[in-house]
Every structure is written in structure tokens, then in C-alpha cells.
Amino acid sequence: MTAAPLQDTRFRLSEEQARELAQAYGTPLYVVDEGHFRQRIQQYYEGFRAASPKGELSFASKANSTVALLKIAYQEGCSIDVASEGELRAALMAGVPASACHLHGNNKQESEIQFAVEQGIGMIVLDNFEEIELFGRMKALVEEKGVKLVIRLAPGVDPVTHAKISTGQADTKFGFNIVDGSGEKALKRTMELGLPTIGFHCHVGSQLLDPEAQISGGELIAKFAADMKANHGFETTYLNVGGGLGVMYTEKDVPMSHAEYCKAIVAAVTKALEGTGLDPKLAQEPGRSLIAESGVTLYRVGVVKTVPAKERGTRTYVCVDGGLSDNPRPALYGSKYTVELVSPSRSADASPVTVSGKHCETDKLFEDIQLPSDVQAGDLIQVLCTGAYNSSMASNYNRYQRPATALIRKDGSFSLVQRRDTWEEMLAREIVPEGLV
């Protein structure tokens, strides 16, 4: 299935905004536009509810767990998908009730599960047989707190995406495999234990520009639900088909519209459930597709140097004041981004450059991109579509401070929603034993 061309809806800073933000909060700086983020959620919900009136969106907080953004997502009607106790605590800090949160994880610690249940979390996604037995021992508390359970399935779908963000194939650490019978065995065990299981979940991967894998995943878990009713009398009331819709990192990335994507998935699930008498609530867990295009990263250029390069003569490096620690995705996944000069250009000519970071690594952030040929130290550049998996994956590698995050409010004003690390915080964990010579 081919997506229709879309307009470029990515948020961008104006030159004036970039200059004011850099002066107020320094660089590198993550910036998110509140109105853009709210609109993305509203558009997704509109498309989903048009296809499935009971449809539920759960914001995948792993994409960006900045507390202010979790609060916005909840205000716009999303439940919050968390994959750790830390992400759950962030949601609680945002004022999201635990009952509106879903806990994931392939190796949840017993202490994490205990904390989530005690808080009254709304849903926990079962991932392995050990968890099922643990919940059997915790049954009384689970029922007292009203926690619901969903079984994660591996449908055996291999999506077109980077291998490191592909999760629905048979060979995966996540969930219970359908083909080898593990999924059915898991359901039978939860029924034997009398656990409050309501349905099934799958997630086939991320940054999906071709929706066929996600459509197949939804169809397969719907067929599984139908089989479980026929074989065991289990009435599925909830089906979660995960997230994964891609975004426009560069102009070569052409994702489907939210409406087209939701319509295609819901149609596949609905067809698979025809004649079964099942009418479950359908849920999705978008993260990247809601927040990525709402954010940019602002850098200031430092050193610009041209060096000899094999097979091309020379290469020009434009070095910025961030790098691997604030955006590890190029190193991890070979990710590509759109990079734009926001300082006034002194030349209409563009030339290929490599934007590199300042870390003690190769740290090629954005290789062979076009920037004005006279880019120089002090210029500001913005990287589009960094609202997802930049702040949440940032580190202190080389003892660099993680960037601040600024929110552009709907009235155009700026608010700091996550400040830059301090040196004291960075070193607060260190302990030098007495007598160490």
C-alpha cells in the first residue's frame, strides 16, 4: 500500500524564535511546540474515532517522557503507556492517575509490578509465563486495585523498518508467540488462575512508512481472539494493535495520514472479527507519530573545517555544540534528519557538509547534507522532527550536560519544562571511598 504525498507539517522555529530561545536557555536545546503537539493528537484521534468510535489512544511515553508533555497528552484524551517504574512515576508527577496508565516490559521486576499494582495502574501487559504466575500469587491485590491484564502476542510479522526497532517477528524478546502455541497456552493459564484478563496486544515495530505489517499484525491478533472464543469461550473486550506509524524525518519519508492509517488497520481487524460476536475496544499506542514532528533541536555552530577525503577530494565538517549524547539515533540506527540554517544566510549557494558533534567519537550526526556554503561559527541550525527519542535517550556521555527543553506555548510565549543538568547533579552519584590512594 502506497501512501499519498503529504504536506510538510513539521514544526520549525523562525529566526527570531531561535535567537531568543538560544539567548534565554543556551544550546543545544530541545524545543517543542505545544499547539502543534495538541493538534497532532487531535488529528490522530479524529482519524481513529472516525474508523472506530470507541478507539483509545495511549501515548507511548518512551518517545518523550518529559512531564509537561505527558500532562498535555493526558489532557488531550490519551492514556499513558509506560515501560518502567520511572516512566510511571513521571506520569504520576504529571497528574495522570495510575488508572489511566498501561505498564509494558519484557522483563518487569517484581518491585516494579508491585509498585504499579499498589498505585492502582489501569492495565498491565503480560509478557511471559513467569509474570502470569506472579500475578496468580498477587491475585487478591490485583482484583482489589481493579487492575486489568492484557496478553502481548508476537504475531510473526516482520515489518519494513530498521532491525533494532522491529518487534513483531517470531524471533523477538517480546510477548508470547502465536505460531508455536505460546499465546494460547498463556491465555489458558490466566483463565485457570482466574486472572482479570481482557484481551490481547501486539506491536510490530516503529517508523513504519509501509503499513502492511501493522495491518497484518492487527488482523492476526483479531483472528487469534476469534480462535480463543471458539476454542475456550474467551470473550475479548480489548485489542491493542500497538503504534508504529512513521513520520517525515526527511522529504524522502512519506507516511500515511492518520486517517488513512487508522481506517486501514480498523478495516483489517473488523473483517477478521466478522461473525464472531466480538466487539472489543480497539486501542493504539502512538508515540513518535504524535510528538516527533512537534519538536526541533537547536544547535550553535563552532568549528568549521575542510579535510582530505577519499574518493571525493575533501569533506567539510560543521561542528556543533551537541552530538551523540543528545541524539544517539544516527549512531544507533543510521537515522537521517532534515537540518536547516536559522541564522541569516550570507550566500544563496549550498554545498554538502557533515554536521558532527563534539564527543570523543566519530560522532557524525548528519552526514552529507546541504547547508549554505558560508556557514560559520556562531550560526544557529535547527534539526527538525526531534520531538521523539532525543530527550528520552539523552545521556551524559563525555560528562556533557543533557539539554534543556523549552515549550512554545499556544500564545507564543516560552516556558522551560526541563532544565539543563547541573554539574552538581551530574557528579552527585559519585562516591570516593575513604583511604583510596
What cell was used for 25?
536557555
How buried is 14 (Cβ within 10 angstroms: 0-12 exposed, 13-18 middle, 19+ buried)? Answer: exposed
Amino acid identity of 62? K
Q: Which of 78, 101, 262, 360 is catalytic?
A: 360
Which residues, in sequence order, are bridge partners of residue 205?
166
Beta strands in 43-89 (DSSP E): 56-60, 79-82
Please check whether residue 380 is in contact with residue 301, taking contact to mean a CB–CB distance below 8 angstroms: yes
Return the SS3 of 286: coil
Return the SS3 of 417: strand
Residue with cell 513520520: 247
Distance CA 322, CA 361 (A): 12
Please check whether residue 259 is in contact with residue 218, taking contact to mean a CB–CB distance below 8 angstroms: no
Please check whether residue 300 is in contact with residue 76, taking contact to mean a CB–CB distance below 8 angstroms: no
The string of DSSP letters for 139-181 reads HHHHHHHT-EEEEEEE-----SS-GGGB--SSS-SSSEESTTS
Does 360 qualify as catalytic in the annotation? Answer: yes
Name the residues annotated as catalytic. 360
